[in-house]
Chains A and B, each alone.
Chain A
Amino acid sequence: MTAARLGRALGIYALVLACACALVRARTRIESAPLPARDAREWAIDAVAALAAGEAAAEAPASASRYAPAGPVFATAWLRGRPLAVHAASGRTLVDAVRAGGRSLAADATVANVQRTNRAQLSYTVALTRGRGPVILGVPLLENLALVPLYDGLAATLDGEHAYITPDELRAEGAYDGGVPTPIPDLSIGVAVDGLVSRLARSLGHDVEALESRGEVERLRVTTLVRDAYPRETAPTERELRLAAREGAQFILRHMKADGRYTYIYDGRTGRDRGGPYNVPRHAGTSYFLSLVGRLDDMPEARAGARRALMWLRARVQRCGGDDRWCVVGEDGRVELGSSALATIATADYLAGGDDPELRPMLDGLTAFLRAQQRPDGEFMHEFDFARQRPVDVQFLYYSGEAAFALVLAHQAGGDARNLDAARRVMKHLTGEGWSFFGSRYYYGEEHWTCIAAGAAREATNTDAALDFCSRWAGYNRALQYQRGETPWPSAGAYGVGPVILPRLTPIASRTEAFVSTYELARHHGASDRALRQQIELGLGALLRYRWAPGPTYLLADPLGAGGGIPGSPADLTIRNDFVQHAGCAMIRWADLLRAERSGVPP
């Protein structure tokens, strides 16, 4: 084969491939039909609720009569976050479909029964189909990514019969983001589509083989009409941020237990603690948040909550390597630096708001332990062998940064110069030789605690290297920060590398918290970083957008109890205590900075 012939063959291949790609994209893409006008949407919500309750619906506005749905309209009755009954209705206009759906709900025996016995806890939604698209089944991973989380459901048709699974049902089941586990802890993506297809087949009275051979499975793009918009765009003003931080603290306090522990994972679908092992480092981190809000927003109940939680921690502190060295022993008997560092952070912040003779010795003991875990090069040994009473020189994510921040705060709260010296040495290590290798300018780990520590140390030590490091880290993250329209969801301000994964809120929160510190550090050095400011406000906007205020109320068992919480992602219906901690810390600290700017007093 000559070079010319091979070149021609490859050229033709490239052309055919480009055409095939364009075809696949066009075939897969769903062009969403427009939503009806606002008055039609509001009428639809009220009409379904009225008709389901056996009452007459109000007269439909003209816009509802003009609107032709692109597919089935789903009328759903919800009871404490669970779909009690879902009825798919069709009609030439929105009015016809909504009336049909409402009447179907009224005729549903289950709904009628709850209407009689528990009407106050019932709620209704109307969801509109806005488009359809094909779904590829049988290809691993691709099959799991076939549904766009929050927007796509499934429809099956066989022998003229239809069955549906709506996006709201998938959210209520926690089906989004659970299909494929990833090597990253706490991260899974996609949907287990094969199970859903089996379910559709069963509801049609057939098996999967029959559905796949004779029927059709499609994606449905569906939008739910609700009165309480969620996500809700909110500008990150001082007032909104204070309110959000305060409500976050109220959420934590509302679910705090009598013994001083927090609810570790709150499940919005049940309105209760999900159970499972407790996490001591996150207990300490949450206590820091309560203390911070208590201090910066004059919230005595938050401070009291922090104290109760710290007293619970104090009962778990033991001597480690010497009488003066105290460490936090985990539930499993392990001693990890992170627990003691975060306990130090919370205790030091609490003492910064006023002394406490019961907690002061704990701070001294914890800092003595932290200092004893430090190597000559500044790095920390992250474990302690309690049985043998000696440090174990291993390193994990976060702990060194947490220890740095702990020592800086402890110095501020107690004035012990040894803590500042230890903090200086670890900061020098973390922002200098600890992150110096070929390519270290292009890749970074999770450095939020390092940069929070750097910001806190700005008055006490030379932070030139830390500012350089944290500014570079912020710039790296700026490249990963979504702008408007970069994912299918309203994700501006979130961090990620592609639209397939729903943005997680905790990385936004922890990084934003650190960027607030970096901003303060830059200002301390006389620099005004406008790009960083925009980055922070975009991140805070994302957190405000997705916090539960009041959130997706129909999906929550107890919307009032869930209010103020911050979920793990837009599809997540659980709240881990550190989700609220990081978001709340970022919010209250930026609000405090805005207050300082307004009043002309440095924070």
Chain B
Amino acid sequence: MAKTDAKKKPQNDVSVSAADRSATAQTSTAPTNGESAAKRRHPWLGGIDLVTALLLLGCVWGVLPARWWPVDVGATLLGALLATSGGGLLAGAPWARRVGVVAGAVTLLLGLALVTTLALTASYLSGLYGPVGRGGAVILVLVAALAIPYFVFFPAAQIVALRKPA
């Protein structure tokens, strides 16, 4: 049954065998396609990822007054991912592009979750209390202005910049 299925597989099927995967890995790790380590370097993206990682870890472990495992573990994992991505992109490591895309995607998803939570909370409070006043509006706009560029626009830009060339 399995053999029959394999024969029926169309030629443009994207699934690959273990041998294929090994070959693909060799192709991407060795600079045989003309892409040198220097060309693979993304100093700006790598630098920003590293700074973001440091800020995130510094804020959570150095500034937050209490320990709460969902925040501590989540921020540490994200910080480690961004640091790895940043280091790899700075050094031009062969795996850096993929890790950078993953880091961008995870940051984007968390950013969207944060924006969603903030927006729904603001809507809930606005429904409860009515107008938020000038001071309240300034605070909401400030939070949005701080969160959206770093947690939405930048990771989205990173994903686009690091996507595989067509």
Contacts and interface: CB of A to CB of B under 8 A. Distances in A.
Interface of A: 1-3, 6, 10, 13, 17, 20-22, 24-29, 133, 136, 142, 145-146, 148, 479-480, 482, 485-488, 496-500
Contacts of B130: 29, 487-488, 499
A142 B118 CA distance: 11
Contacts of A146: 128
Given A1-B163, A3-B160, A25-B123, A486 B133 contact: yes
A24 B121 CA distance: 9
A42 B27 CA distance: 88
Contact of A480 (B119, B127, B135, B160): B135
Contacts of B128: 28-29, 133, 145-146, 148
**4 A-B pairs with least C-beta separation:** A28-B127, A497-B135, A498-B136, A21-B123
Interface string B119-151: 111111111111111111011000000000000
B24 interface: no
A479 B123 CA distance: 24
Contact of A498 (B115, B121, B139): B139
A482 B130 CA distance: 14
Contacts of A148: 128-129
A486 B132 CA distance: 7
B125 A500 contact: yes
B78 interface: no
A24 B120 CA distance: 7
Contacts of A496: 133, 135
Contacts of B134: 479-480, 486
B57 interface: no
A18 to B, nearest CB: 8
Contact of B120 (A20, A486, A497): A20
Determine chain B's interface SS by DSSP, over half rule: helix
Contact of A10 (B129, B139, B152): B152
B75 interface: no
Contacts of B127: 24-29, 133
Interface residues of B, number: 28
A447 B122 CA distance: 32
Given A498-B135, A498-B136, A488 B129 contact: yes
Contacts of A22: 123
A205 B65 CA distance: 40
B124 A24 contact: yes
Contacts of A480: 134-135
Given A22-B123, A25-B123, A498-B139, A487 B131 contact: yes
B57 to A, nearest CB: 23
B48 interface: no
A6 B160 contact: yes
A505 B131 CA distance: 21
A133 B134 CA distance: 26
Nearest to A485: B131
Most buried by B among A13, A27, A498, A500: A498
A133 B116 CA distance: 22
Given A17-B116, A146-B128, A497-B133, A1 B123 contact: no
Contacts of A1: 159-160, 163
B93 interface: no
Nearest to B153: A10
A498 B160 contact: no
15 contacts: A1-B160, A6-B159, A17-B116, A20-B123, A24-B123, A25-B123, A28-B128, A29-B128, A148-B129, A485-B131, A497-B133, A497-B136, A497-B138, A498-B133, A499-B125
B132 A499 contact: yes
A314 B100 CA distance: 72
A499 B115 contact: no
Most buried by A among B112, B125, B127, B132: B127
A158 B95 CA distance: 59
B156 interface: yes
Contacts of A21: 119-120, 122-123
Nearest to B156: A6
Contacts of B131: 485-487, 499
A497 B129 CA distance: 13
Given A10-B152, A17-B119, A24-B124, A500 B160 contact: no
Nearest to A136: B124
A29 B124 CA distance: 8
B124 A499 contact: no
